Amino acid sequence: MVICNEVLLGDCRDELKKLPENYISACITDPPYNYEFIGHRWDNDEIERRIERITNSSTLVKNIPYGSGLAGGVRNKRWYERVQENILEYQNWCYEWAVPLYTTMKPGGVVAVFNSTRTIAHVQIALERAGFYTRDCLVYRRHSGIPKGLNAKEKLKKMGNPHYEDWEGWHSCLRNEWEAIIVVQKPLENNYLETVQKYGVGLFNTQTNAGTFQSNIIEGIQREKNEQFNVHCTVKPLALMKKLITIFVPLNEDHIVLDPFAGSGTTLVAAKKLGVNYIGIEIVPEYMDIIQKRLSLIHIENDESSEAQPEIPITQPQNLRLFD
Ligand SMILES: C[S@@+](CC[C@H](N)C(=O)[O-])C[C@H]1O[C@@H](n2cnc3c(N)ncnc32)[C@H](O)[C@@H]1O
């Protein structure tokens, strides 16, 4: 059975095994960043617990930034051990999807994975353990949020420390202004030109709209308004996903772009709009409805309008917050 232009419901560690060998031209994906898993085991029970929670509750599941002051008070030996165990579990979990992903990628096919600046190294190692070769680490520069760490001056002032002013400007973290996108590649067949002639992929499109040579910093991306029915909490800008697809695959129907952590389907929508085939995988059924609705609206949108509303309302819990 040929799978193409479809979204599969399930755990990508299983679903990826259903895809043929040497089949996918590029994988562009934004998996969970591990933030919520401090103090929880990164295993099937935890995933089940979270699916249950998202389906049955309207409570916000907060992101606890990895290593921030919110993540647990005292930094004792046990705390550091738990953080270390947790990130290694995350790396192993990444390895579990990277292995079947490797099989289904074409030689020369690029895998681009988003992650936070603090966790990206583990994603890179997991992908390398699965057989991929690292090509680059892109910077997606975006507007920064408010630093959430410790403000030493304010804290000491509250504690009545007379020297609090000495600590003006000292915080426990810097302002976070970029996300990392690790770019790895399935090994070429002999060399670039043989691979590109046989599989149609392996090189980067370096021409920008401005006529410059594409750099590895992506910035100035406008975030469009999400459709009202799209209540996913970590939607990437459509323009960003279009940009990445344009760099990694020739825009024609000979290619399939895969997103095994589809979320609300932004990668798939971008591929469809660019005339490239897509395959998505998503574990939460409610998100599947959002993806299908976004994909089905494409033919009635002209590329610029994302305001169109679905004819059939989607019923689901508000404030879906999971696996960010
Ligand atoms: C960060 S979100 C992706 C958001 C997406 N980039 C967008 O623009 O909508 C990650 C998604 O991966 C899904 N997910 C988590 N674990 C998964 C797994 N094992 N298999 C498939 N999907 C999974 C989550 O439900 C979540 O929707």
pLDDT of residue 45: 65
Distance from the alpha carbon of residue 291 to the mean position of ligand 1, in angstroms: 11
Determine the Cα angle at 266 with ends 144 and 289, to 5°: 125
Residue 158 half-sphere exposure, CB side, CA atoms within 13 Å?
A: 6
Distance from the alpha carbon of residue 213 to the mean position of ligand 1, in angstroms: 32
CB-ligand 1 contact for 230 (6 Å cutoff): no
Q: What are the CA-CA distances from residue 52 to residues 45, 56, 98, 111, 290 (Å)? A: 10, 6, 26, 30, 18
CB-ligand 1 contact for 276 (6 Å cutoff): no
Instruction: Name residue, tokens 């410059």.
Output: 212
Contacts for 41 with CB less than 8 Å, ≥ 6 apart: 89
Instruction: Name residue, tokens 């004819």.
Output: 311
Mean pLDDT across the chain: 84
303 versus 264: which is more confidently predicted? 264
Distance from the alpha carbon of residue 252 to the mean position of ligand 1, in angstroms: 26
pLDDT band per the 50, 70, 90 thresholds, residue 272 = very high
pLDDT band per the 50, 70, 90 thresholds, residue 63 = very low
CB-ligand 1 contact for 100 (6 Å cutoff): no
CA pair distance 3, 219, nearest whole angstrom: 34
For residue range 115-167, list pLDDT tens digits in order: 999 899 999 999 999 999 999 999 999 977 777 788 999 999 999 999 999 99
Tell me how far apart the terminal alpha carbons of the chain are, to the nearest angstrom: 32
CA pair distance 38, 47, nearest whole angstrom: 13
Q: Examine the pLDDT at 44 and tell me if it is beyond 90.
A: no
pLDDT of residue 43: 56
pLDDT of residue 50: 60
pLDDT band per the 50, 70, 90 thresholds, residue 86 = confident
Domain 6-142+177-297 = CATH 3.40.50.150: yes
For residue range 4-40, list pLDDT tens digits in order: 999 999 999 999 999 999 999 999 999 998 755 444 4
Contacts for 316 with CB less than 8 Å, ≥ 6 apart: 231, 286, 289
pLDDT band per the 50, 70, 90 thresholds, residue 49 = low
CA pair distance 233, 44, nearest whole angstrom: 22
CB-ligand 1 contact for 266 (6 Å cutoff): yes
Distance from the alpha carbon of residue 292 to the mean position of ligand 1, in angstroms: 15
CA pair distance 209, 71, nearest whole angstrom: 43
pLDDT band per the 50, 70, 90 thresholds, residue 54 = low
CA pair distance 239, 245, nearest whole angstrom: 10
% of the chain exceeding 90 in pLDDT? 66
